[in-house]
Amino acid sequence: QLFSNVTGSPDDHGNCQCSVYLPDTTFPVQKAEHLQVIATMLSEKFERELSQVREYSKRIELYQQQILNITIRVEHMEKSSVSYTELDFQLLKVEISDLDRLVTQLKSTVVGSNVIVDQIYLEIRNLTILVSELESLDKNNILAIRRQIVSLQNRLKECEESRNKTTVPPYFPPGSCIHRGLLNVSQPYIVKLNWRGFSYKYGSWGRDYSPSNPEKEVYWVAPLNTDGRKLEYFRIYNSFDDLLLFKPMYESRITYGEGSGAALYNNSLYYHAYASNNIVKHDIKTNKMVLGKALPYAVTGNRFSYAGVSWQDIDFAVDESGLWVIYSTANSMGNIVISKLNETTLDVLNTWQTRQYRPSVSNAFMLCGVLYATRTMNTRQEEIFYMYDTSTGQEGRVSVVMDKKLDTIQSIDYNPTDQRLYVYNDGYLLRYDVTFQP
């Protein structure tokens, strides 16, 4: 009730006077407002302090975990026999120094004494001393490791310099044999597919070697028929460009040669006559057969042909000294026999018998009086693995890897003029540069 009637009485001067009773329950608004402001400030301050305490608790837990990790690492370094480098100790020192700085800042912000913070600070000081002791004990090992690292770096530098150094192979004049034999062969250069097509996988090709006119370019390509046995057609080219452009000097038909062992020497093509032990000389200038003669004791009929190459019982080869033939006899029991031929009469001038079984090699060629034989490593690589020196009668092992483009190599012919190998590889004509040992 906001309003009330009160009975009054006049005073001596005639003024009306009345008495009103006010109870003590009236609300003190100003005091309440002041107290509310103080309570809000205290609450905010409490929240700030509580948040800071929580943050300190998190930091203390993090520092304790970091100290535990560092302690485990230091204990491992104490127990391990492994020699640590200076960098390991420096990393530990940096981590401990960071912890030291953070804990020092934490102590300055904590009012009064805090047992946990003091304990962390003491552990950090102990770790600093321990790492310093370990570092001083390990200095000898650090020096030893540094010496090993320097030695390894020097060796690595030498290897890199050796690998990056491009050495020019020594030059040996064409037709000369003043080197110490075959050293390596280049990557194959693919000249082209043979002129009869992909189906004619067997055959031979190469460049003529004429001692009286070695610089003259004459090439032959002689693919066998698709039976892989009969040699019926061959082409003669007057230059390498003519060969590339399919411009033969002529194409000839013979009846018949046998196998992929033909070779061109001093303007004559030499080949094995079909189904016989006869060898034939064919003059490429007149395009006529000049002479045919039996090769004494030669075993034919595909009995001792090369591995993976049928009907190559008689294989002609040319090198700096002239014309050779590679074959087997009954007396050699299938081992390779090498004979030097008189290119005019086809008579055998000299014969050497090796201990290398002919059907175990994939092909062979002559170079400076040395027989080199190959074997198949896989579908893309051959290895020149065997040699026989006719001048000394010594045989031995070598290892020169030849990359190839298809599975089988049907023939290999060496030319002394350009010092290259001419390879017939499943119908494709390949060429390799040869390097020699100085």
CA distance 274 to 259: 8
* Residues 418 and 210: beta-carbon distance below 8 Å: no
Domain ranges of the chain: 29-140, 181-437
Alpha carbon distance 301, 307 (integer Å) = 15
User: Alpha-carbon distance 366 to 372, whole Å?
Assistant: 6
Q: How far is CA 42 from CA 47, 169, 348, 425, in A?
A: 9, 93, 122, 97
Q: Which long-range contacts (CB under 8 A, 24 or more apart) does 285-291 make?
A: 287/250, 287/252, 289/254, 291/345, 291/346
- Picking from 257, 278, 282, 258, the residue whose alpha carbon sits closest to that of residue 269 is 282
Q: Which residues pair with 112 in a beta bridge?
A: none
Q: To 5 degrees, how large is the angle CA 208–CA 233–CA 260?
A: 65
Task: Give residue 41's pLDDT.
Answer: 80
The pLDDT score that the predictor gives to residue 354 is 97
163: exposed, middle or buried (C-beta count within 10 Å: 0-12, 13-18, 19+)?
exposed
In 247-310, which ranges are E strands? 250-258, 263-265, 268-272, 278-283, 288-294
Residue 342's closest CA among 289, 394, 291? 291
pLDDT of residue 5: 74
What is the mean pLDDT for each group of 10 consecutive residues in the chain (438 residues)?
A: 69 78 60 74 76 74 73 65 55 66 64 60 66 59 59 64 67 86 93 95 96 92 97 96 93 94 96 97 94 96 96 97 97 97 97 97 97 96 97 95 95 96 97 93
C-alpha distances in angstroms, 427 versus 37, 197, 221?
A: 104, 7, 11
Q: Using CA atoms, how far apart are residues 411 and 4, in angstroms rounded to an integer?
A: 138
Helices (H), 18-138: 29-79, 86-109, 115-137
Rounded distance, CA 206 to CA 264, Å? 7
Indicate the residue type of 92: L
Q: What is the CATH number of domain 181-437?
A: 2.40.128.630
pTM comes to: 0.64
pLDDT at 44: 80
- In whole angstroms, give the CA distance from residue 195 to residue 204: 12
Residue 403 exposed, middle or buried by CB count within 10 Å (0-12, 13-18, 19+) = middle
Q: 333 vs 275, 357, 359, 397, CA distance in Å?
A: 21, 8, 11, 21
C-alpha to C-alpha distance for 228 and 258, rounded to whole angstroms = 9
Q: Is 27 helix (H, G, I), strand (E, B) or coil?
A: coil
Query: What's the confidence (pLDDT) of residue 137?
Result: 57
Where are the strands (E) in 310-369, listed by range?
315-319, 322-327, 335-341, 348-357, 363-367
